[in-house]
Structure 1
Amino acid sequence: MPLIPTLDEARLALLNIADRATGLVTPSLRLGVTGLSRAGKTVFITALVHNLIKGGRLPLFEAAASGRIARAYLEPQPDDAVPRFDYEAHVRKLVEERLWPSSTRRVSELRVTLEFESATFLNRTLGRGRIHLDIVDYPGEWLLDLPLLAKDYATWSAETLARAREPARAALAASWLATLAGLDPTGPEDEGLARDLAEAFTGYLRAARADEHALSTLPPGRFLMPGDLEGSPALTFAPLDLAPGTVTVPKSLRAMMERRFEAYKDVVVRPFFRDHFARLDRQIVLVDALQALNAGPRAVADLELALTEILQCFRPGRLSWLGSILSRRIDRIVFAATKADHLHRDSHDRLEAILRRLVGRAIERASFAGAEVDVIAMAAVRATREASVSDRGETLPAILGVPLPGERLGGEAFDGEAEIAIFPGDLPDDPESVFERPDSISEALESESELQQAPHSGSQTDPGLGLEFVRFRPPRLERTAEGLTLSLPHIRLDRALQFLIGDRLT
């Protein structure tokens, strides 16, 4: 089953022709920022733009490191019907309040224009280069809907029920499954029953998404973030327990659910795919692997399945110059494990290896189609710094940071002002071990996590608290001797920038 019908393919071709026509004077590059919930999309975009505009410390971003970027500035975005990414508000939140901005709740867009000197003598003689970087941001939950385009209602129902009955989900789905029990799909359509089923199903999805479970395969995504569609028939359906091989009876509950499932795809998913997702040139996929690792192998396996299904909907590869006028392909993809600042740098390579294992099948497919792929352990905004602490005569690699107000660890609550030192443990050398162990990834750590106050305090809390990641406040920005505020610190944001756009600034 095609992701979008032929008519929509034609409309997509017209959109691409319009994009190319408007880019004849100044070319544009559309960068998609995607990822599942809590992966840090808003923070990534804000940090990327802040570092470009402020001239941040980007040693691996060649055009910036060599001083060839003359100017970077914001301009009005090209799509008038798409909300603007509220960069200024997010910067204030990070820099002035030292709090993390709210998660993405809708599609938004931001245009950054870069003026640069070419790296080649011939191009330099033609004058300064100029390119628009159009950044497209959208909720991670919506990514989960893309695989629905290739499924019918019966297939989706069977897969969703099978997952809900797995040991990791059975207790979470108990209330919804009880509502579903004994229901006759051939019975008459009933609006009240449809609302009850949709409400119970949504409750199960919310419970599965909670931090302690960190499950990822939770479509339909708009059930978790309905927006202006809340209460509409397109969001008032749920899976039914259908016997294999049965047919749909007109005016039945099943017919009602099937109709609304297809309406959801037509009203929500296809327009999103056609108008936004299928028009991208480059892609970064942000993954909160640490949360899944902390929840255990079932959450890791669930994350792997979610990423594999999502990435099957990508359009990777290279096109000829003529083909690029009518269509677009994503020719460079970055998979980034976020929140690398929650680990000591000794574990960054291991986090990278685990993510590479998670997205291995997607990398193979993208590479086969001609796309280039990179895998990075990254922190778009670095909230911690590294140090060494001593415990019972042993020196441990630690991270230092200020936990957010109200964060708790080992029975201690933090006020958002005091700095603490944490030994986060070490991820295993073998990435396969996180897929094989029956219990939490904490058993795979080489040492138990320990929480200590900053070294200058001279005291420490009880050791042996187990693995538990604390959310830290954004850092206080440094100032130069002239009083200028520096850009947001990061880990490997420059590497991601070089891979994603560096070739377009030569």
Structure 2
Amino acid sequence: MQKNIAALLDKTLAAASLTSDKLADVFSKETHRFTITGLSRSGKSMLFTSLVTMLKSRSEEGYACLPLLRYLPPSQVLDIRVAPIEGYKAFPQLDNLAALERGQWPAATEEAYGFKLIVRLKQTASLKRHVMPHTDVVFEFIDYPGEWITDIPMLSKTYAQWSDSAWAQLSSGPQQYFAEGWKQVVNSFDFEQPPSPARIQQLVHAYRQYLIDAKKQGISLLQPGSFLLDSSDFDWQAFGFTPLPSSITSDVSHPWYKAFDTHFVTFQQQWLAPLKQSIFKETDKQIILVDLFEGLNHSRQHLYQLKETLSHLADTFVYGQSSWFSRTVLKKEQIGKVAFVATKADLIPVNQRDNLLSLLTQITEGARARFDNKPIQFEHFLVSAMQVTDDGSNDSAIRYTDSQGRYVESTFESVPRTLKEMEEGAHFPVPQAQVPRDYKARILAGKGVDRLLQFLLGKGE
């Protein structure tokens, strides 16, 4: 009862500062803004595509998908529509569906997209029905490249600090196996020559090639990730930089240090700071997508690095419950609900999914430590945005369409419940399932999305 009174008071106070043409929105609209945070290849584009498809099919075509989503009962849905968010490009929903029709997975996100899903519900309470015949529940989603997320922590570092930390990372963990070419370039490079544009580009292109190669090998912590995106508005050709040996970064008078320090500050001020201000704010709910299979397919070291990466990324966001004053007057939101989501959960048999959930819980330990002493609600979920596999002939097997178009069966060993259970040097091959021809039916059969939305929309009672 107290929560209901507080919610009404919030709306009443907000209404006092609005003009009459906006008054109805305060009482008839419930807005939820989500940021979906995920590293590259974590499945953001597919999740968005599936979510829109599920909700529209549920309301417009009467499909019984999202069965556990009681906060949006189909019998009360009058209409659902997709609308743009001002300042963002529209999410390419139709393009993604066209790609699936061609048997291709949606393209990776390389720009910021924003869209609203506006669900109009009938009022059921008699008093509310007389005052306002409907309620609009608005979902605002922001999608952006995973590479941007790994770059934001660079805002808190000087160039020398970042350079030293970058060297430490590429000299340890799984990166060390893919950085040999870059190290050879540095060892043979003549830093006595002045940093001309041509020499800078030579060094930057060599470092970027390392980033490209490491990304292909499943490395998650790569900086600057923005250099990997052709669509990036930052001109890395003109203002690129790389880590430099400590003998140079320790000498602030060195010409190469001066050049790269200037470029690094330009990157921070002209790219990262505006990016953080425009993209990584004004959100009250966060979905953190985690692709555990990328690490399982490579090595235990990859999983440890994924855990480290998620821990660093948690520093990017502001966590805590937003007050009425901060939301209405200061126009600032804090994230009060966080969902950690392991994607592509249908790539292993059902009897292994408890193990996968246990592994997800350990991988997020560092990130969750950032929530200590803060009123944050969080849960862990397994989600299949599209059910691309079928049950196999036994509990440890699944069937799917492989890259050759064959319908095959694979049998799995147990997925490790913890990082320690995964032996050094071991890896778990992940099936390269192709887009099924009946992709829409399989989107509607996706698992876990209803539980995820139910948690995010819940009032915390």
Match of 2:391 among 380, 386, 393: 386
Q: Quick one: which of 60, 66, 90 aligns to 2:68? A: 60
1:43 paired to 2:43: no
The answer to whether structure 1 residue 350 and structure 2 residue 355 are counterparts is yes
The aligned amino acid for 1:419 is Y
Q: How does 1:99-178 map to 2 (within 5 A)?
A: 99-117=104-122, 123-124=128-129, 126=131, 127-166=133-172, 168-178=174-184
The alignment partner of 1:89 has SS state of: helix
Are residues 1:242 and 2:246 paired? yes
Deviations 1:232-276 (Å, cap 9, x if unpaired)?
Answer: 4565211111249834117x1111101111111122211111011
Residues 137-172 of structure 1: CA distance to partner in whole angstroms, max 9, x if unpaired? 111111101111111111111111111122633342
Correspondence for 1:497:
453
Structure 1 pair 231/274, CA: closer, same or farther in 2 (3 Å)? Answer: closer
Counterpart for residue 219 of structure 2: 215
Distance 1:194 1:245 in 2: 16
* Residues in 2 aligned to 1:50 and 1:437: alpha-carbon distance in whole angstroms: 40
Q: Counterpart of 1:69?
A: 77
* Contact 1:109 1:134 (C-alpha < 8 Å) held by counterparts: yes
Are the aligned partners of 1:379 and 1:490 in contact in 2 as well (CA < 8 Å)?
yes
Paired residue secondary structure (1:333): strand
User: Does the alignment pair 1:420 with 2:422?
Assistant: no
Whether the aligned pair in 2 keeps the contact of 1:234 and 1:264 (CA below 8 Å) is no
In the alignment, what sits opposite 1:339?
Answer: 344
Aligned to 1:463: none
Q: Structure 1 residues 371 and 475 mapped into 2: Cα distance closer, same or farther (>3 Å)?
A: farther
Unmatched runs of 5 consecutive residues or more in structure 1? 1-16, 390-395, 408-413, 443-466, 479-484
C-alpha displacement of 1:65: 4.7
How many residues align structurally?
A: 432
Aligned residues with identical type, % of pairs: 24
Map of 2:309 onto structure 1: 306
Distance 1:225 1:233 in 2: 12
Is this contact kept in 2: 1:382–1:475, CA < 8 A?
no
Provide the secondary structure at the position in 2 that maps to 1:181. helix
Going from structure 1 to structure 2, the CA distance change for 1:224 and 1:233 (only over 3 Å counts) comes to closer
Change in Cα spacing, 1:432 to 1:170, as seen in structure 2 (3 Å) is closer
Higher helix share: 2
The residue aligned with 1:398 is 397
- Is the Cα–Cα contact under 8 Å of residues 337 and 377 in structure 1 kept in the other structure? yes
Counterpart in 2 of 1:32?
35
State whether residues 296 and 441 of structure 1, in contact with CA within 8 Å, keep that contact through their aligned partners in structure 2.
Answer: yes
Matched residue type, 2:96: H
- Structure 2, unmatched stretches of 5+, are 1-16
CA contact (8 A) 1:337 1:355 kept: yes
TM-score between the two structures when normalised by the length of structure 2? 0.86
2:226/2:232 contact within 8 Å kept: no
Separation of aligned partners in 2, 1:192 and 1:93: 40
Alignment partner of 2:268 out of 251, 254, 265: 265
Farther off after superposition, 126-135 or 282-291: 126-135
Judge conservation of contact 1:58–1:65 (CA < 8 Å) in 2: no
Q: Distance in 1 between matches of 2:438 and 2:244?
A: 52
Deviation of the 1:486 alpha carbon: 8.7
> Which position in structure 2 is the counterpart of 1:179?
185
What displacement does 1:182 show?
A: 6.0
**Which one-letter code corresponds to 2:450 in the other structure?**
D
Once residues 173 and 182 of structure 2 are traced to their aligned partners in structure 1, the CA distance between those partners, rounded to angstroms, is 15
Go from structure 1 to structure 2 and tell me whether the alpha carbon gap of 1:125 and 1:335 turns closer, same or farther (over 3 Å shift).
farther
Q: Distance in 1 between matches of 2:125 and 2:408?
A: 49
- CA RMSD of superposed structures (Å): 2.7
Q: Which residue of 2 aligns with 1:437?
A: 423
Q: Which residue of 2 aligns with 1:188?
A: 194
How far the C-alpha of 1:331 sits from its partner, in A, is 1.2
Please list, as runs of the form range in 1=range in 2, the aligned pairs for 1:264-343 lying within 5 A after superposition: 264-325=267-328, 326=330, 327-343=332-348
Cα offset, 1:349, TM superposition: 1.5
Distance 1:93 1:244 in 2: 48
Sort the Cα spacing of 1:398 and 1:235 in 2 relative to 1 into closer, same or farther, 3 A: farther
Deviations 1:394-421 (Å, cap 9, x if unpaired)? xx53212212xxx3xxxxxx1x2x3112
Tell me the equivalent position of 2:13. none
Q: CA, structure 1 residues 160+49, in 2 after alignment: closer, same or farther (shift >3 Å)?
A: same
Amino acid at match of 1:400: R
